[in-house]
Amino acid sequence: MKTIADRIKEGLAMKEMKQSDLVELTGIGKSSISSYISGQYEPKQRNIYKIAKALGVNEAWLMGYDTSKERSTDQMQKDLDMEYMNSLSELNYSKELVKIHEFFSLLNEEGRKESIKRIEELTYLKKYTK
């Protein structure tokens, strides 16, 4: 099984990127990236996620597992959800709105349509409106 250091090097080569590019894209410190590439340390899960996203590879593949390199649709959706949640936090949206989004993202298409109907129904009741 290849090591995470091997896979980071391979990912960098595939994308024709340098360590400095990875530092910039992930926000992970230069010394940490260097220690991951040298095999001195292994990244924590949140940094594995950031590195995999920056390299456009599957997290399991990056960790050395024998699986496809390509990021799955689920992983790409997770990326979008994380970016959206971060942007909501940066905009100081209320905790309630962030919580609504968290629940909404767990629903399938039918559940999302139903949740929108139910929220709309609440707006017709004086008890729940401003």
Q: Where are the domains of the chain?
A: 4-62, 73-128
First to last CA, the chain: 60
DSSP for 22-68, written as a single string: HHHHH---HHHHHHHHHTSS---HHHHHHHHHHHTB-HHHHTT-SS-
CA angle 4, 8, 13 (to 5 degrees): 150
Ranking 32-41, 88-97, 100-109, 121-130 by mean pLDDT, the lowest is 88-97
CATH of domain 4-62: 1.10.260.40
pTM score, two decimals?
0.59
Residue 39 Rama label (left phi>0; alpha psi -120 to 50; beta): left
Confidence of residue 121 (pLDDT cuts 50, 70, 90): very high
User: What pLDDT does 7 receive?
Assistant: 95
Number of H helices, E strands in the chain: 8, 0
Q: pLDDT tier at 118 (50, 70, 90 boundaries)? A: very high
pLDDT reading at 116 higher than 90: yes
The token pair at 99 is 């919580």
